[in-house]
Chain A
Amino acid sequence: MGTLDYVWMGIQAVFQGPELFSIFGVSISVTLIMILGGFLTGIAVGATPGLAGPIAMAIALPILISVFGYTPDALLPVMGFLIGVMKGATIGGAVPAILFNTPGTPDAYMTTLDGYPMTKRGKAAKALRVAHFSSASGDTFSDIVLIVCAPFLALLVEAYLDLPEKTALLILSLSFIAAAIGGSPAKGLLSTGLGLLIAFVGTGEDFYPRLSLGSPMLNQGFPIATSVLGVLIIGAVFKEMETLWRQRQSRDIASDIRIEGDQRLHWADIRRLLPYVGRSAVIGTAIGALPGIGSTLAATLGYTVGRSRHARTKTEGRPDFGEGAPEGIAATEAANSSVSGANLIPVLSLGIPGNAAAVFLILAAESIGGFNPGPSVFRFTADTVNPELVIAFGLFTAMMIANLLNWTIGGVFMRSMGVMVRIPKHILLPAVLLLTLTAIYVQETRMEAIWFALGFGVLGYFMRVLAISPLPFVIAFILGGNLEESARQAFAATGGDPWFLFTSPIAALFMLASVGVIVFTARKTKERS
């Protein structure tokens, strides 16, 4: 089995998977339809203020697993749908940002700065076209980088990192995520520490389930769905509801959008936008490849870099950034969209989720079984077929199909989604709450799970109130078990050497970097204050 054989098998797994129907004798696989369904759902969800890709993924996952079951055949349809949602939500977020000055997703905030002024000038359709072109370009670039880099990174990890180095790498990832997210290393460490602690409740190798307080409820630990959905989704719903209650006013939404003049995107426009799209795509991809750093930072950096270029090169009469410059939309949308593909680099090559969407892909893989994201996926076995590698190339194929859909029908569908902003948020959010609780119950089928989720929701709410990012909590919760297992194996493999994390130069370097990144960001924080 050569590399190209695996690539071809991955493509075949998508196109020749279980047939849903056929048109003129041509078989249409269920995976293709799921990618399309996920993509359209994602655009609609992204275009709805108050919803986001992870919410749709959380609600859809138990339904999808129920439809497709727990067999390896379910992996590509289910993960294809989730990838479609992830990509669709990225471009959907720009719609209300441009049309109504309301970002559909947090990373689309910078899009409002130039998108809404263009709408007020009667150029709404053109602004949407700019957003779509830039978003699709950034996304495609990022996916190509993912497809090229992830296998190489995984091969490097497998070739050079042994158990102690892998343990040290997990510690470095957690340390980096704690330091990088939210601008406060102390709060990042708090979130990470809580996530680890919760992951260790009710688990362990001894007969007694540790930290269970003798309670039968805690004997099996906290189900992954309750903690992840509780902190990420229910906590967000509580915070949003509180904000709505504080405002207690419905925002006026312009009922008529004026369309004036030429709305098409010409080749001259594209040539002018390309330098901005290119720079932002590189920025977004670089940021996305680092676990934990989100698309909002990428959008801000892309916009800032674009603005300084625009100030240098702008011709007389063209609007500045912040006054309706198409280049501003391009810089933002290319940056935040190019995060999504690159964010899967640490997931697929290291098994470390970098953002909320990646968390749900890992959840899907763990729930269904047969695919464990990490360096072992990319074992190019010559004599036997590595089914995980076929799935990995199937996922890459699914991403490229989603890109193709984005370039072809994405723009048209996106431009029709302006109506989603009219859904009242204060009715939508409680419905999302009940849907999330239901999604948890149908997976766990016990009321305890709902109580746990509610408790984690309260925790997630307080984390948001106290400006503590919940993402390190979720990532630490997911990685906690792997970290302990890896440490146990490394300790045993080194003959019980208590310094196993410091005896090899690479592991020692990772550990030094783990401490260094916390010290560096803490010093930066102190200087700022």
Chain B
Amino acid sequence: MAGKSSSNLILGLCILIFAAVLLGVWIPADVQTGLIEKVRRQVTVGDALAPTVAGLFLLLSGVLLVTVERQAEGQPRLDLRNLGFTAGMVALIFVSLIVMRWSGPLAVGIVNVLGDGDLEYRLLRDTAPWKFLGYFVGGTLMISGCVAMVEGRIRLRAVLVSALAVLTMIAIYDLPFDDLILPPNGDV
């Protein structure tokens, strides 16, 4: 990771651009009061002051990275393969969360089609086993998918261990507490 790298310079330039946009565009356009406000003849601190201080921290950081720490030793070198792996993992988690969100409603829909019923997931989300369905399927996919990515292969044992881990989490969070709501049942 360490070695001759210009990552500090690139990072510094990116931060300088971001700080300039923040201070020059975002704060003026997206904050309604200025740095200092006069309300009923009283001078008060406006909403823009605090984000401006944050922007100045970023600006100073960018200046230091580009000037003082430009040649610093041991700068990290970005490895595109590693970044690719992490991007894949984030994508997997994204898909798992989508599956978690929609497994329950989908299962209810399938039951409705097969049994000619009129069930609604929203009304079943506090009833077992419906309330566990999304969390179990999405959670198992998330854990076993991450394991498979690290191992470079899909193993039945890993899937079973993942399913067991999710069941344990259900037992920890849901069974003893009436007021804890597992995802995604709080806002479906």
On A, residues with C-beta under 8 Å from B are 62-63, 66-67, 178, 184-187, 189-190, 192-194, 196-197, 200, 204-208, 210-214, 238, 241-242, 244-246, 248, 426-427, 429-431, 433-435, 437-438, 441-442, 444-447, 450-451, 454, 458, 461, 465-467, 480, 483-484, 487-488, 491-492, 496, 498, 518, 522-523, 525-526, 528-529
| Number of A-B contacts defined by CB within 8 Å | 228
B30 touches A496 (CB 8 A): no
| Chain A residues with CB under 8 A of B156 | none
| Chain A residues with CB under 8 A of B61 | 186-187, 189-190, 193
B64 vs chain A, min Cβ distance (A) = 4
A32 vs chain B, min Cβ distance (A) = 21
A197 touches B54 (CB 8 A): yes
B183 touches A426 (CB 8 A): no
A428 vs chain B, min Cβ distance (A) = 9
Determine the residue in chain A with the shortest Cβ distance to B63.
A186
A438 touches B173 (CB 8 A): yes
Give residues 91-145 of B contacting A (CB, 8 Å). Answer: 93-94, 97, 101, 135, 139, 142-143, 145
B63 vs chain A, min Cβ distance (A) = 8
Sample of 11 further A-B pairs with CB below 8 A, known A190-B15, A193-B54, A211-B31: A67-B177, A184-B69, A194-B54, A196-B50, A197-B51, A211-B30, A238-B90, A241-B89, A426-B150, A427-B143, A454-B97
Number of interface residues of B (CB under 8 A): 81
A210 touches B31 (CB 8 A): yes
Q: Choose from B48, B54, B145, B180 the contact partner of A62 (Cβ within 8 Å).
A: B180
| Chain A residues with CB under 8 A of B26 | 211
**With contact pairs A196-B53, A206-B33, A245-B85 given, residues A522 and B58 touching in the complex (Cβ less than 8 Å):** no
B58 vs chain A, min Cβ distance (A) = 4
| Chain B residues with CB under 8 A of A207 | 32
Question: Which of A248, A465, A484, A498 has the most chain B CB atoms inside 10 A of its CB?
Answer: A465
A189 touches B57 (CB 8 A): yes
| Chain A residues with CB under 8 A of B47 | 204-206, 210
B159 vs chain A, min Cβ distance (A) = 11
B64 touches A245 (CB 8 A): no
A517 vs chain B, min Cβ distance (A) = 13
Give complex CA distance A528, B74 in Å.
11
A181 vs chain B, min Cβ distance (A) = 13
The prevalent SS among residues of B at the interface is helix
B51 touches A210 (CB 8 A): yes
**With contact pairs A184-B72, A196-B53, A434-B169 given, residues A447 and B44 touching in the complex (Cβ less than 8 Å):** no
Question: Which of A431, A435, A483, A518 has the most chain B CB atoms inside 10 A of its CB?
Answer: A431
Give complex CA distance A496, B35 in Å.
12
**With contact pairs A193-B54, A197-B54, A487-B49 given, residues A434 and B30 touching in the complex (Cβ less than 8 Å):** no
| Chain A residues with CB under 8 A of B73 | 528-529
B15 touches A488 (CB 8 A): no
A126 vs chain B, min Cβ distance (A) = 36
Give residues 28-83 of B contacting A (CB, 8 Å). Answer: 30-33, 36, 42-45, 47-51, 53-58, 60-62, 64-65, 68-69, 71-76, 78, 82-83
B76 touches A196 (CB 8 A): no
B180 touches A442 (CB 8 A): yes
| Chain B residues with CB under 8 A of A178 | 57
| Chain B residues with CB under 8 A of A241 | 85-86, 89, 146, 149-150
| Chain B residues with CB under 8 A of A483 | 50
Q: What are 8 A-B contacts with C-beta separation under 8 Å?
A: A187-B65, A205-B33, A206-B32, A427-B147, A438-B183, A451-B97, A467-B76, A529-B71
B49 vs chain A, min Cβ distance (A) = 7
**With contact pairs A193-B61, A241-B89, A445-B187 given, residues A525 and B146 touching in the complex (Cβ less than 8 Å):** no
Give complex CA distance A316, B150 in Å.
49
A429 touches B30 (CB 8 A): no
**With contact pairs A242-B85, A427-B147, A434-B142 given, residues A447 and B45 touching in the complex (Cβ less than 8 Å):** no
A454 touches B94 (CB 8 A): yes
Q: Is there a chain A Cβ closer than 8 Å to B152's Cβ?
A: yes
**With contact pairs A238-B89, A528-B72 given, residues A488 and B45 touching in the complex (Cβ less than 8 Å):** yes
| Chain A residues with CB under 8 A of B50 | 196, 200, 204, 480, 483-484, 487
| Chain B residues with CB under 8 A of A430 | 142-143, 145-147, 162
